[in-house]
Amino acid sequence: MGRSPDIARALARSGAPSPSNRSDSSGSIGTKDTAASKSSVGQISFCIAIGTVKARESVTVTAKVSEIVQKVHFDSGQEVRVGDPLITLSNNQQQASLAEAQAAREVVDRVSAEPRGLIKVSTPVLLAEDILSKLLPQFMLLYPKVKVQLHVSNRRVDVINEGFDIALRVRNSLAADADFILKRFGHFNELLVASPDYLKRSGIPQHPQELSKHTTLSMSEDEARQRWELHGASGVVEKVDINPSLMALSFSILHQAALKGIGVALLPQIICCEDLKAGRLQKVLPEWNLPLGICHAVFPSRRGLLPAVRVFIDFLAEHMPKEIQDSNI
């Protein structure tokens, strides 16, 4: 059995000599130790958890990576399991940095045929409660060896510096970023809504600019500037400055306030569709449209796609569009 292309590329990038390939009777990957591998530069032996390439096939990987780690050598004569933390240093060589160890681990994980390990996902509250709560149990049943750490917050996270594998987002517009790969899943309609009691008490707005005279409920916490942008059927755009009575980074709070007759709220349709059907809420300015909320995933292109991350994104791409479409009435 030859070396994995991922491992071969890692060796090529490092400038390390390419070891000879051989396949023993058990089918495990190995290399022949050479005199050069025992040179004065010394060896650093990393026992790294590497999983399996195929069912019932164990893997041992030998690699030499120079530069930062000098010459990193994965023992060909010892089989290790996922989770083994053992690192053996010889000849007083300094321990490789955590980032280099993680990079080496990812190279090995990419050759694993079965998705496994931890993926760290950031998601806004809306997606977590209304979409992922339905889909995640299905995913976990399909891939029982994958662990998901879900960070639920409406805060925009720093994907790379905070160590996320994937960030799910809903934005009105998408900006190109060379550091990330972007995957769209669909869009959410956003509506202006209010309770029948509020509209009876305060009147029904006939034009977007009349909203500035109404009590409004806003998702934005920016006190300095609050503006809603509405699009007419003829392409006319109206930008309305508002002075909201309630600002909260929570659609749930805004939803409940609208139901209680506090004011006019801008909500995703997925949140208020049942209340619209039941008559508990009414659309405000229904002939005017608001920018669509684009649901998408971003992930760092520089890290590549580990099997667990790849199958998670593929799973969302298969199932999330229908969930989003069903929420838009």
User: In this structure, are residues 145 and 321 in contact, taking their beta carbons and an 8 Å threshold?
Assistant: no
Domain 117-187+293-327 listed as CATH 3.40.190.10: yes
β-pairing, 87-89 vs 44-46, is antiparallel
What DSSP string describes 65-132? E-GGGSSEE--SS----TT---EEE-TTPPPPPHHHHHHHHHHHHHT-SS--EEEEEEE-HHHIIIII
Name the residue type at position 149.
Answer: Q
User: In this structure, are residues 245 and 263 in contact, taking their beta carbons and an 8 Å threshold?
Assistant: yes
pLDDT for 228 equals: 92
Q: What is the pTM of this model?
A: 0.61
Residue in the block written with tokens 């130790």 = 33
pLDDT for 226 equals: 87
**Helix or strand or coil: residue 158?**
coil
Please state the domain extents for the chain: 5-110, 117-187+293-327, 190-283
**What gap in Å lies between CA 136 and CA 123, rounded to an integer?**
12
pLDDT for 220 equals: 81
Name the residue type at position 84.
Answer: D
Helix (H) or strand (E) holding 140: helix 133-142
pLDDT for 174 equals: 77
DSSP state of 289: B
β-pairing, 117-123 vs 72-73, is unpaired
pLDDT for 329 equals: 60
Helix (H) or strand (E) holding 137: helix 133-142
pLDDT for 66 equals: 38
Same fold, 117-187+293-327 and 190-283: yes
**What gap in Å lies between CA 103 and CA 24, rounded to an integer?**
27
CA angle 242, 244, 250 (to 5 degrees): 120
pLDDT in tens, the chain (329 residues): 444 444 444 444 444 444 444 444 334 334 444 444 444 334 433 333 333 333 333 333 434 333 433 333 343 334 334 444 444 445 455 555 666 666 665 655 555 568 999 999 999 998 999 999 999 999 999 999 999 999 999 888 999 899 999 999 998 777 767 778 899 999 988 999 999 999 999 999 999 999 999 999 998 877 667 889 999 988 899 999 999 999 998 899 999 999 999 999 999 998 998 999 999 999 999 999 888 889 999 998 755 678 999 999 999 999 999 998 887 76
Domain boundaries 190-283, corresponding CATH code:
3.40.190.10
